[in-house]
Amino acid sequence: MLIPVVLAGGTGSRLWPLSRAMYPKQFLSLAGEGTMLQETFSRIDGLDINQSIVICNEEHRFIAAEQLRQHNEMPTIILEPFVRNTAPAVALAAIYATKNSEDPILLVLAADHVIENKPVFEAAVQQAIPLADSGKLVTFGIVPTAPETGYGYIKRGMRLEDNISFSVSNFVEKPNIETAEGYIESGEYYWNSGMFMFRASRYLNELAKHRPEVLAACEESMLDLTNDLDFLRVDKSAFERCPVDSIDYAVMEKTQDAVIVPLDAGWNDIGSWSALWDISTKNEEGNAIHGDALVRDCKNSFVYSSDRLVTMVGMENTVVIETKDAILVIAKDQVQNVKEVVSILKEQERVEVSLHREVYRPWGKYDCIDIGHRYQVKRITVDPGERLSIQMHHHRAEHWIVVSGTAKVINGDKELILTENQSTYIPVGAIHGLENPGKIPLEIIEVQSGSYLGEDDIVRLSDQYNRIEIE
Protein backbone atom coordinates (compact mmCIF):
# COMPACT_ATOMS: atom_id res chain seq x y z
CA MET A 1 0.00 0.00 0.00
CA LEU A 2 1.46 3.35 -1.10
CA ILE A 3 0.39 6.51 0.74
CA PRO A 4 1.63 9.90 -0.53
CA VAL A 5 2.56 12.34 2.22
CA VAL A 6 2.56 15.88 0.87
CA LEU A 7 4.42 18.43 2.99
CA ALA A 8 2.66 21.75 2.46
CA GLY A 9 4.34 23.87 5.11
CA GLY A 10 7.03 26.52 4.68
CA THR A 11 6.90 30.19 3.78
CA GLY A 12 8.96 30.40 0.57
CA SER A 13 10.55 33.66 1.71
CA ARG A 14 13.06 33.68 -1.16
CA LEU A 15 10.12 34.28 -3.52
CA TRP A 16 8.96 37.40 -1.68
CA PRO A 17 7.02 39.58 -2.44
CA LEU A 18 4.81 37.09 -4.31
CA SER A 19 5.22 34.38 -1.65
CA ARG A 20 4.39 35.51 1.88
CA ALA A 21 4.00 33.85 5.25
CA MET A 22 0.20 33.71 5.07
CA TYR A 23 0.10 32.79 1.37
CA PRO A 24 3.35 30.98 0.51
CA LYS A 25 4.58 29.63 -2.80
CA GLN A 26 2.97 26.18 -2.59
CA PHE A 27 -0.42 27.87 -2.99
CA LEU A 28 0.63 30.00 -5.99
CA SER A 29 0.40 29.20 -9.71
CA LEU A 30 4.03 29.57 -10.71
CA ALA A 31 4.81 26.79 -13.17
CA GLY A 32 1.60 25.28 -14.47
CA GLU A 33 -2.12 25.76 -14.79
CA GLY A 34 -2.77 24.84 -11.18
CA THR A 35 -1.13 25.92 -7.97
CA MET A 36 2.02 24.09 -6.92
CA LEU A 37 0.00 22.05 -4.40
CA GLN A 38 -2.48 21.07 -7.11
CA GLU A 39 0.32 20.22 -9.54
CA THR A 40 1.84 17.92 -6.91
CA PHE A 41 -1.38 15.90 -6.81
CA SER A 42 -1.61 15.88 -10.61
CA ARG A 43 1.86 14.35 -10.65
CA ILE A 44 0.78 11.31 -8.63
CA ASP A 45 -2.63 10.67 -10.16
CA GLY A 46 -1.21 7.87 -12.33
CA LEU A 47 0.17 5.93 -9.35
CA ASP A 48 -1.66 3.14 -7.53
CA ILE A 49 -2.08 4.96 -4.24
CA ASN A 50 -4.26 4.89 -1.17
CA GLN A 51 -5.61 7.85 0.79
CA SER A 52 -3.13 10.73 0.69
CA ILE A 53 -2.00 12.72 3.72
CA VAL A 54 -1.27 16.45 3.67
CA ILE A 55 0.69 18.06 6.47
CA CYS A 56 -0.27 21.71 6.59
CA ASN A 57 0.41 24.70 8.81
CA GLU A 58 -2.64 25.64 10.82
CA GLU A 59 -2.88 29.15 9.41
CA HIS A 60 -2.97 27.81 5.83
CA ARG A 61 -5.66 25.20 6.40
CA PHE A 62 -8.54 26.86 4.55
CA ILE A 63 -6.37 27.76 1.56
CA ALA A 64 -5.11 24.18 1.27
CA ALA A 65 -8.56 22.64 1.70
CA GLU A 66 -10.14 24.89 -0.92
CA GLN A 67 -7.40 24.27 -3.49
CA LEU A 68 -7.65 20.52 -2.95
CA ARG A 69 -11.44 20.68 -3.23
CA GLN A 70 -11.11 22.53 -6.54
CA HIS A 71 -8.78 19.74 -7.69
CA ASN A 72 -11.28 17.05 -6.61
CA GLU A 73 -8.92 15.77 -3.92
CA MET A 74 -10.01 14.69 -0.43
CA PRO A 75 -6.83 13.80 1.46
CA THR A 76 -6.44 13.61 5.21
CA ILE A 77 -5.16 17.03 6.32
CA ILE A 78 -3.16 17.05 9.54
CA LEU A 79 -2.52 20.50 10.99
CA GLU A 80 0.79 21.57 12.51
CA PRO A 81 0.17 24.23 15.17
CA PHE A 82 3.87 25.20 15.05
CA VAL A 83 6.56 24.97 12.38
CA ARG A 84 8.94 22.18 13.39
CA ASN A 85 10.57 21.25 10.03
CA THR A 86 10.18 18.01 8.09
CA ALA A 87 11.19 15.29 10.57
CA PRO A 88 8.23 15.89 12.93
CA ALA A 89 5.86 16.47 10.00
CA VAL A 90 6.68 13.08 8.50
CA ALA A 91 6.47 11.49 11.95
CA LEU A 92 2.88 12.75 12.36
CA ALA A 93 1.97 11.21 9.01
CA ALA A 94 3.72 7.92 9.80
CA ILE A 95 2.02 7.59 13.19
CA TYR A 96 -1.36 8.31 11.66
CA ALA A 97 -0.76 5.92 8.76
CA THR A 98 0.22 3.01 11.02
CA LYS A 99 -2.93 3.51 13.09
CA ASN A 100 -5.16 3.41 10.03
CA SER A 101 -3.28 0.98 7.73
CA GLU A 102 -0.99 -2.00 8.14
CA ASP A 103 2.48 -0.47 7.86
CA PRO A 104 2.10 1.25 4.48
CA ILE A 105 4.87 2.59 2.28
CA LEU A 106 5.03 6.37 2.45
CA LEU A 107 5.97 8.52 -0.55
CA VAL A 108 7.08 11.84 0.95
CA LEU A 109 6.76 14.79 -1.43
CA ALA A 110 7.09 18.54 -1.09
CA ALA A 111 4.17 20.65 -2.31
CA ASP A 112 6.44 23.26 -3.91
CA HIS A 113 8.47 21.30 -6.48
CA VAL A 114 8.28 21.27 -10.26
CA ILE A 115 8.81 18.01 -12.16
CA GLU A 116 8.45 18.39 -15.91
CA ASN A 117 8.64 14.72 -16.98
CA LYS A 118 5.83 12.90 -15.21
CA PRO A 119 6.43 9.42 -16.79
CA VAL A 120 10.08 9.44 -15.67
CA PHE A 121 9.01 10.47 -12.17
CA GLU A 122 6.44 7.66 -12.05
CA ALA A 123 9.07 5.16 -13.21
CA ALA A 124 11.45 6.26 -10.43
CA VAL A 125 8.67 5.83 -7.87
CA GLN A 126 8.01 2.30 -9.15
CA GLN A 127 11.73 1.50 -8.94
CA ALA A 128 11.80 2.68 -5.33
CA ILE A 129 8.85 0.60 -4.11
CA PRO A 130 10.72 -2.76 -3.86
CA LEU A 131 13.56 -1.03 -2.01
CA ALA A 132 11.18 0.54 0.52
CA ASP A 133 9.30 -2.74 0.81
CA SER A 134 12.54 -4.48 1.81
CA GLY A 135 13.21 -1.99 4.61
CA LYS A 136 15.39 0.58 2.87
CA LEU A 137 14.93 4.32 3.30
CA VAL A 138 14.92 5.75 -0.19
CA THR A 139 15.88 9.27 -1.22
CA PHE A 140 15.43 10.48 -4.79
CA GLY A 141 18.66 12.05 -6.02
CA ILE A 142 18.34 14.58 -8.83
CA VAL A 143 20.81 14.12 -11.67
CA PRO A 144 22.54 17.54 -11.65
CA THR A 145 22.60 19.72 -14.74
CA ALA A 146 24.92 22.44 -13.41
CA PRO A 147 27.20 23.15 -10.44
CA GLU A 148 24.46 24.66 -8.29
CA THR A 149 25.47 26.19 -4.96
CA GLY A 150 21.87 26.52 -3.69
CA TYR A 151 21.27 22.76 -3.24
CA GLY A 152 22.59 20.15 -0.87
CA TYR A 153 24.21 17.10 -2.50
CA ILE A 154 24.24 13.36 -1.91
CA LYS A 155 27.25 11.22 -2.80
CA ARG A 156 26.38 7.77 -4.05
CA GLY A 157 28.04 4.60 -2.82
CA MET A 158 27.92 1.09 -4.26
CA ARG A 159 25.50 0.16 -7.02
CA LEU A 160 22.72 -2.12 -5.78
CA GLU A 161 21.49 -5.38 -7.29
CA ASP A 162 18.73 -3.68 -9.28
CA ASN A 163 21.51 -1.97 -11.27
CA ILE A 164 19.65 1.34 -10.95
CA SER A 165 19.93 2.53 -7.37
CA PHE A 166 22.91 3.05 -5.06
CA SER A 167 23.72 3.02 -1.40
CA VAL A 168 24.20 6.48 0.11
CA SER A 169 27.80 7.34 0.89
CA ASN A 170 27.10 10.67 2.58
CA PHE A 171 25.09 13.88 2.48
CA VAL A 172 26.92 17.19 1.97
CA GLU A 173 25.85 20.77 2.61
CA LYS A 174 25.45 23.44 -0.04
CA PRO A 175 28.94 23.83 -1.54
CA ASN A 176 30.84 26.78 -2.98
CA ILE A 177 31.11 26.96 -6.76
CA GLU A 178 34.52 25.28 -6.98
CA THR A 179 33.37 22.34 -4.86
CA ALA A 180 30.13 22.06 -6.82
CA GLU A 181 32.07 21.92 -10.08
CA GLY A 182 34.12 19.05 -8.66
CA TYR A 183 30.95 17.20 -7.69
CA ILE A 184 29.60 17.49 -11.24
CA GLU A 185 32.86 16.33 -12.81
CA SER A 186 33.03 13.25 -10.59
CA GLY A 187 29.59 12.01 -11.66
CA GLU A 188 29.08 10.60 -8.15
CA TYR A 189 26.86 13.33 -6.68
CA TYR A 190 23.17 14.14 -6.93
CA TRP A 191 21.13 17.11 -5.80
CA ASN A 192 19.19 16.41 -2.62
CA SER A 193 15.53 16.58 -3.71
CA GLY A 194 13.87 16.27 -0.31
CA MET A 195 11.66 13.44 -1.63
CA PHE A 196 11.67 10.07 0.14
CA MET A 197 10.06 6.65 0.31
CA PHE A 198 10.03 4.13 3.17
CA ARG A 199 7.74 2.00 5.25
CA ALA A 200 6.12 4.01 8.02
CA SER A 201 7.46 1.65 10.69
CA ARG A 202 11.03 1.88 9.37
CA TYR A 203 10.99 5.66 9.59
CA LEU A 204 9.57 5.61 13.10
CA ASN A 205 12.12 3.01 14.20
CA GLU A 206 15.01 5.07 12.84
CA LEU A 207 13.60 8.21 14.43
CA ALA A 208 13.36 6.39 17.77
CA LYS A 209 17.02 5.39 17.43
CA HIS A 210 18.45 8.75 16.36
CA ARG A 211 15.97 11.41 17.56
CA PRO A 212 13.80 9.81 20.27
CA GLU A 213 12.75 13.17 21.68
CA VAL A 214 11.17 14.11 18.33
CA LEU A 215 9.27 10.82 18.17
CA ALA A 216 8.12 11.09 21.79
CA ALA A 217 6.68 14.57 21.28
CA CYS A 218 4.93 13.54 18.06
CA GLU A 219 3.47 10.38 19.61
CA GLU A 220 2.16 12.36 22.55
CA SER A 221 0.65 15.00 20.30
CA MET A 222 -1.18 12.30 18.30
CA LEU A 223 -2.81 10.78 21.41
CA ASP A 224 -5.40 13.54 21.51
CA LEU A 225 -6.20 13.86 17.81
CA THR A 226 -9.39 15.86 17.22
CA ASN A 227 -11.55 16.44 14.16
CA ASP A 228 -12.20 20.03 13.14
CA LEU A 229 -14.27 20.33 9.94
CA ASP A 230 -11.99 18.94 7.17
CA PHE A 231 -8.91 18.78 9.40
CA LEU A 232 -7.21 16.74 12.11
CA ARG A 233 -5.69 18.70 14.98
CA VAL A 234 -2.86 17.34 17.10
CA ASP A 235 -2.37 18.21 20.76
CA LYS A 236 -0.94 21.73 20.66
CA SER A 237 0.95 21.73 23.96
CA ALA A 238 2.62 18.39 23.24
CA PHE A 239 3.67 19.39 19.74
CA GLU A 240 5.05 22.69 20.98
CA ARG A 241 7.67 20.70 22.92
CA CYS A 242 8.85 18.92 19.78
CA PRO A 243 12.40 19.85 18.68
CA VAL A 244 12.93 21.40 15.26
CA ASP A 245 14.74 19.06 12.86
CA SER A 246 14.76 18.05 9.22
CA ILE A 247 14.30 14.49 8.02
CA ASP A 248 17.82 14.65 6.53
CA TYR A 249 19.55 15.51 9.80
CA ALA A 250 17.29 13.43 12.03
CA VAL A 251 17.26 10.18 10.05
CA MET A 252 18.67 10.02 6.53
CA GLU A 253 22.22 11.11 7.40
CA LYS A 254 22.39 8.67 10.33
CA THR A 255 20.66 5.50 9.13
CA GLN A 256 22.67 2.60 7.68
CA ASP A 257 19.84 1.75 5.29
CA ALA A 258 19.64 4.86 3.12
CA VAL A 259 19.64 4.28 -0.64
CA ILE A 260 19.39 6.65 -3.56
CA VAL A 261 17.26 6.32 -6.69
CA PRO A 262 18.51 8.70 -9.42
CA LEU A 263 15.86 10.97 -10.94
CA ASP A 264 16.32 12.94 -14.16
CA ALA A 265 12.85 14.35 -14.77
CA GLY A 266 13.23 18.12 -15.03
CA TRP A 267 13.09 18.72 -11.28
CA ASN A 268 13.22 22.20 -9.76
CA ASP A 269 12.32 23.32 -6.26
CA ILE A 270 11.60 26.91 -7.35
CA GLY A 271 13.73 28.10 -4.46
CA SER A 272 14.49 31.51 -5.98
CA TRP A 273 13.47 33.90 -8.73
CA SER A 274 16.39 32.76 -10.86
CA ALA A 275 15.12 29.17 -10.56
CA LEU A 276 11.75 30.30 -11.88
CA TRP A 277 13.52 32.12 -14.72
CA ASP A 278 15.33 28.86 -15.52
CA ILE A 279 12.11 26.96 -16.24
CA SER A 280 10.14 29.83 -17.81
CA THR A 281 9.59 30.38 -21.53
CA LYS A 282 11.95 33.11 -22.75
CA ASN A 283 12.05 35.38 -25.77
CA GLU A 284 15.03 35.79 -28.13
CA GLU A 285 16.75 38.11 -25.66
CA GLY A 286 16.44 35.57 -22.85
CA ASN A 287 13.73 37.53 -21.01
CA ALA A 288 10.92 35.70 -19.18
CA ILE A 289 7.86 37.94 -18.89
CA HIS A 290 4.73 37.23 -16.86
CA GLY A 291 1.84 39.68 -16.85
CA ASP A 292 1.58 43.23 -18.18
CA ALA A 293 5.14 44.34 -18.97
CA LEU A 294 6.91 46.39 -21.63
CA VAL A 295 10.59 45.42 -21.95
CA ARG A 296 13.09 47.08 -24.31
CA ASP A 297 16.84 46.47 -24.77
CA CYS A 298 16.93 44.01 -21.88
CA LYS A 299 18.59 40.60 -21.72
CA ASN A 300 18.30 37.49 -19.54
CA SER A 301 15.88 39.14 -17.14
CA PHE A 302 12.73 38.07 -15.33
CA VAL A 303 9.68 40.32 -15.03
CA TYR A 304 6.56 39.37 -13.08
CA SER A 305 3.64 41.80 -13.01
CA SER A 306 0.61 40.80 -10.97
CA ASP A 307 -1.40 44.02 -11.03
CA ARG A 308 0.14 47.00 -12.86
CA LEU A 309 2.09 47.77 -16.03
CA VAL A 310 5.84 47.26 -15.53
CA THR A 311 8.29 48.88 -17.95
CA MET A 312 11.99 48.06 -18.07
CA VAL A 313 14.67 49.48 -20.37
CA GLY A 314 18.36 48.68 -20.78
CA MET A 315 18.72 46.07 -18.05
CA GLU A 316 20.51 42.72 -18.00
CA ASN A 317 20.25 39.80 -15.58
CA THR A 318 17.66 41.64 -13.53
CA VAL A 319 14.57 40.47 -11.66
CA VAL A 320 11.55 42.75 -11.23
CA ILE A 321 8.56 41.48 -9.25
CA GLU A 322 5.45 43.66 -8.87
CA THR A 323 2.51 43.06 -6.53
CA LYS A 324 -0.27 45.37 -5.35
CA ASP A 325 1.71 46.58 -2.34
CA ALA A 326 5.39 45.82 -2.93
CA ILE A 327 8.01 45.80 -5.72
CA LEU A 328 11.28 43.87 -5.75
CA VAL A 329 14.18 44.85 -8.05
CA ILE A 330 17.26 42.68 -7.70
CA ALA A 331 20.21 41.40 -9.73
CA LYS A 332 19.61 37.82 -10.83
CA ASP A 333 22.82 36.61 -9.19
CA GLN A 334 21.71 38.11 -5.86
CA VAL A 335 18.29 36.48 -5.55
CA GLN A 336 19.39 34.23 -2.68
CA ASN A 337 19.63 37.43 -0.61
CA VAL A 338 15.89 38.09 -0.75
CA LYS A 339 15.69 36.31 2.61
CA GLU A 340 17.80 39.11 4.10
CA VAL A 341 15.25 41.67 2.89
CA VAL A 342 12.47 39.62 4.48
CA SER A 343 14.40 39.46 7.75
CA ILE A 344 14.77 43.25 7.81
CA LEU A 345 11.07 43.71 7.09
CA LYS A 346 10.28 41.32 9.96
CA GLU A 347 12.43 43.39 12.31
CA GLN A 348 10.53 46.47 11.19
CA GLU A 349 7.25 44.58 11.79
CA ARG A 350 6.08 45.30 8.27
CA VAL A 351 2.80 43.61 7.39
CA GLU A 352 4.08 42.96 3.85
CA VAL A 353 6.13 40.06 5.21
CA SER A 354 3.07 37.98 6.03
CA LEU A 355 0.08 39.39 4.16
CA HIS A 356 -0.72 40.51 0.66
CA ARG A 357 -2.98 43.49 0.19
CA GLU A 358 -5.49 40.90 -0.98
CA VAL A 359 -6.13 38.52 1.92
CA TYR A 360 -7.89 35.15 1.59
CA ARG A 361 -10.37 33.89 4.16
CA PRO A 362 -12.43 30.66 4.29
CA TRP A 363 -15.47 32.64 3.15
CA GLY A 364 -13.70 34.47 0.30
CA LYS A 365 -11.23 37.37 0.34
CA TYR A 366 -10.78 41.09 0.94
CA ASP A 367 -8.59 43.71 -0.68
CA CYS A 368 -7.51 46.73 1.34
CA ILE A 369 -8.05 49.47 -1.25
CA ASP A 370 -7.14 52.50 0.86
CA ILE A 371 -6.14 53.32 4.41
CA GLY A 372 -5.57 56.59 6.23
CA HIS A 373 -6.00 58.34 9.56
CA ARG A 374 -9.16 56.90 11.18
CA TYR A 375 -10.47 55.23 8.02
CA GLN A 376 -9.92 52.13 5.88
CA VAL A 377 -11.63 50.95 2.68
CA LYS A 378 -11.90 47.27 1.71
CA ARG A 379 -13.37 45.42 -1.25
CA ILE A 380 -14.88 42.22 0.19
CA THR A 381 -15.78 39.14 -1.87
CA VAL A 382 -17.97 36.47 -0.26
CA ASP A 383 -18.28 33.16 -2.10
CA PRO A 384 -21.76 31.72 -2.79
CA GLY A 385 -23.26 30.08 0.29
CA GLU A 386 -20.56 31.39 2.64
CA ARG A 387 -20.82 33.77 5.57
CA LEU A 388 -18.60 35.83 7.83
CA SER A 389 -18.71 35.33 11.59
CA ILE A 390 -21.31 37.05 13.76
CA GLN A 391 -19.17 39.73 15.39
CA MET A 392 -18.87 43.21 16.83
CA HIS A 393 -16.18 45.88 17.17
CA HIS A 394 -15.29 48.14 20.09
CA HIS A 395 -13.51 50.87 18.13
CA ARG A 396 -14.87 51.12 14.62
CA ALA A 397 -18.08 51.63 12.67
CA GLU A 398 -18.60 50.17 9.21
CA HIS A 399 -20.57 51.14 6.12
CA TRP A 400 -21.31 48.35 3.61
CA ILE A 401 -22.24 49.09 -0.03
CA VAL A 402 -23.18 46.18 -2.30
CA VAL A 403 -21.36 46.27 -5.65
CA SER A 404 -22.72 43.00 -7.08
CA GLY A 405 -24.64 39.97 -5.88
CA THR A 406 -27.04 39.67 -2.96
CA ALA A 407 -26.17 40.22 0.70
CA LYS A 408 -28.02 38.85 3.72
CA VAL A 409 -27.07 41.18 6.57
CA ILE A 410 -27.55 41.09 10.32
CA ASN A 411 -27.31 44.62 11.72
CA GLY A 412 -28.21 44.77 15.39
CA ASP A 413 -31.77 43.50 15.74
CA LYS A 414 -32.48 43.85 12.00
CA GLU A 415 -32.05 41.31 9.19
CA LEU A 416 -31.71 42.84 5.71
CA ILE A 417 -31.48 41.68 2.11
CA LEU A 418 -29.37 44.11 0.06
CA THR A 419 -28.63 44.11 -3.66
CA GLU A 420 -26.56 46.30 -5.99
CA ASN A 421 -26.10 49.94 -4.89
CA GLN A 422 -27.89 49.35 -1.58
CA SER A 423 -26.08 49.90 1.71
CA THR A 424 -26.25 49.72 5.49
CA TYR A 425 -24.43 51.50 8.33
CA ILE A 426 -23.17 49.48 11.32
CA PRO A 427 -22.46 51.58 14.44
CA VAL A 428 -19.66 50.90 16.91
CA GLY A 429 -20.62 47.99 19.16
CA ALA A 430 -23.45 46.72 16.97
CA ILE A 431 -23.63 42.94 16.45
CA HIS A 432 -23.49 42.21 12.74
CA GLY A 433 -22.98 39.48 10.15
CA LEU A 434 -22.72 39.10 6.39
CA GLU A 435 -23.83 36.16 4.24
CA ASN A 436 -24.02 35.42 0.53
CA PRO A 437 -27.27 33.47 -0.03
CA GLY A 438 -26.97 33.67 -3.80
CA LYS A 439 -25.36 31.68 -6.62
CA ILE A 440 -22.74 34.26 -7.69
CA PRO A 441 -19.97 35.95 -5.66
CA LEU A 442 -21.06 38.83 -3.46
CA GLU A 443 -18.89 41.93 -3.66
CA ILE A 444 -19.21 44.83 -1.26
CA ILE A 445 -17.24 47.94 -0.42
CA GLU A 446 -16.62 48.29 3.32
CA VAL A 447 -15.71 51.70 4.70
CA GLN A 448 -14.36 51.52 8.25
CA SER A 449 -14.04 54.57 10.49
CA GLY A 450 -12.91 54.88 14.08
CA SER A 451 -10.05 55.28 16.51
CA TYR A 452 -8.59 51.79 15.94
CA LEU A 453 -8.93 49.69 12.78
CA GLY A 454 -6.80 46.62 13.56
CA GLU A 455 -7.99 43.11 12.70
CA ASP A 456 -7.72 42.19 16.39
CA ASP A 457 -10.71 44.44 17.15
CA ILE A 458 -13.04 41.57 16.30
CA VAL A 459 -15.19 39.89 18.94
CA ARG A 460 -16.55 36.71 17.35
CA LEU A 461 -19.87 35.57 18.76
CA SER A 462 -20.29 32.60 16.40
CA ASP A 463 -18.33 31.24 13.45
CA GLN A 464 -19.09 28.32 11.14
CA TYR A 465 -15.37 27.73 10.50
CA ASN A 466 -14.54 27.12 14.19
CA ARG A 467 -12.02 29.95 14.21
CA ILE A 468 -10.98 30.73 17.76
CA GLU A 469 -8.06 32.98 16.94
CA ILE A 470 -8.37 36.27 15.09
CA GLU A 471 -8.05 35.71 11.35
DSSP SS3 for 7: strand
Q: CATH number of the domain at 419, please.
A: 2.60.120.10
Co-location of 72 and 13 in the same domain: yes
- What is the structure's pLDDT at 468? 61
Q: Is the residue at 353 inside a domain?
A: no
Q: Is the residue at 21 inside a domain?
A: yes
Q: Is the peptide bond before 17 cis (omega within 30 degrees of 0)?
A: yes
- What is the structure's pLDDT at 471? 45
Co-location of 258 and 287 in the same domain: no
**Spatial distance between the Cα atoms of 110 and 6, rounded to a whole number of angstroms:** 6
The boundaries of the domain holding residue 436 are 358-462
Q: CATH number of the domain at 236, please.
A: 3.90.550.10
Co-location of 293 and 420 in the same domain: no
Q: CB burial class (10 A; 0-12, 13-18, 19+) of residue 463?
A: middle
Could you say which of 308, 342, 376 is where a domain stops?
342
Cβ–Cβ < 8 Å for 5, 107? yes
Which secondary structure element, helix H or strand E, spans residue 128, and what is its range?
helix 118-133
Co-location of 280 and 165 in the same domain: no
Instruction: Report the Cα 156 to chain-centroid distance in Å.
Output: 30
Q: Is the residue at 352 inside a domain?
A: no
Question: 232: which strand partners?
Answer: 78, 227
Co-location of 198 and 284 in the same domain: no
**Spatial distance between the Cα atoms of 143 and 406, rounded to a whole number of angstroms:** 55
Q: Is the residue at 349 inside a domain?
A: no
Co-location of 219 and 299 in the same domain: no
Cβ–Cβ < 8 Å for 381, 365? yes
DSSP SS3 for 21: coil
Q: Is the residue at 287 inside a domain?
A: yes
Co-location of 91 and 44 in the same domain: yes
DSSP SS3 for 126: helix
**Spatial distance between the Cα atoms of 169 and 158, rounded to a whole number of angstroms:** 8
Count of structural domains within the chain: 3
Q: Report residue 240: phi and psi, to 5°.
A: -60, -30
Q: Is the residue at 20 inside a domain?
A: yes
Nearest to 21 by CA among 360, 272, 356, 369: 356
DSSP secondary structure of 333-371: GGGGGHHHHHHHHHHTT-GGGT--SEEEETTEEEEEEEE
pTM confidence score: 0.90
Q: What is the CB neighbour count within 10 angstroms for residue 170?
A: 11
Is the Cα dihedral 213, 112, 170, 338 positive or negative? negative
Contacts of 72 (CB under 8 A, 6+ apart): none
Cβ–Cβ < 8 Å for 108, 2? no
Q: What is the pLDDT along the chain (471 residues), one digit of tens a residue?
A: 899 999 999 888 999 999 999 999 999 999 888 999 999 999 999 999 888 999 999 999 999 999 999 999 899 999 999 999 999 999 999 999 998 888 999 999 999 999 999 999 999 999 999 999 999 999 999 999 999 888 999 999 999 998 899 999 999 999 999 999 999 999 999 999 999 999 999 999 999 999 999 999 999 999 989 999 889 999 999 999 999 999 999 999 999 999 999 999 999 999 899 999 999 999 999 999 999 999 999 999 999 999 999 999 999 999 999 999 999 999 999 998 999 999 999 999 999 999 999 999 999 999 999 999 999 999 999 999 999 999 999 999 999 999 999 999 999 999 999 999 999 999 999 999 999 999 999 999 999 999 999 888 999 999 888 876 544
**Spatial distance between the Cα atoms of 454 and 432, rounded to a whole number of angstroms:** 17
Co-location of 378 and 264 in the same domain: no
Co-location of 438 and 301 in the same domain: no
Q: What is the CB neighbour count within 10 angstroms for residue 204?
A: 22
Could you say which of 318, 342, 366 is where a domain stops?
342
**Spatial distance between the Cα atoms of 335 and 329, rounded to a whole number of angstroms:** 10
